[in-house]
Amino acid sequence: MHLRAQTDQVISASVGQHIQILRLKKNMSLEDVAKEAGISRQTLHLLLNHGKGTLVNLISVLRAINELERLSSLLEDIRPSPLQIIRMEGKKRQRASGRRTATDENSVATYNSKKVTDW
C-alpha cells in the first residue's frame, strides 16, 4: 500500500476498516467497544466508518479491543541512519603520528636552525 499516493480520507477509512475487522474477529459489539473506550456509539461509528475522531479516541478504541500494541512502531526511538552516524563522527585518524621524545624535538630544532644545502 502506497500511503503517499492516497488522500487522508482514504487512509483514515482504511484504518477504520481494519479496526472494524479486528473488532469482529474478537466478537465485540459496537456498544461493548464504545463502553470500554469511554465514548459514545455514535463517536465510535464516526471514527470507524468516516475517519472522523481524535487520536485519543483511536487510542481508547485500540485499548478496548486489546490492540494497542499496533501503535508501538510510532513510539519507537528514532535512531540516526548508518550514514548519519558516519557523517557525525567525522574523519577518523588512519595512522598514529608516533611519540616524540626530547631528543627528537632537539634534532628537529637543530635541523631547522642549520641551513642544509646539497650543492
Model confidence pLDDT, tens digit, residues 84-119 = 777 777 666 667 777 766 665 555 555 555 555 555
Element (H, E) at 52: none
Q: Is this structure's pTM higher than 0.75?
A: no
| φ/ψ of residue 109, rounded to 5 | -65, -40
Model confidence pLDDT, tens digit, residues 24-54 = 999 999 999 999 999 999 999 999 998 898 9
The three grid cell numbers given for residue 23, joined into one nine-digit string: 473488532
The residue ranking higher by pLDDT, 106 or 56, is 56
Give the whole-angstrom CA distance, residue 44 versus residue 20: 10
**Domains assigned to the chain:** 8-72 (1.10.260.40)
Question: Is residue 72 helix, strand or coil?
Answer: helix
Query: CA Rg, the chain, in Å?
Result: 33
Angle between helices 41-50 and 55-64 (to 10 degrees): 100
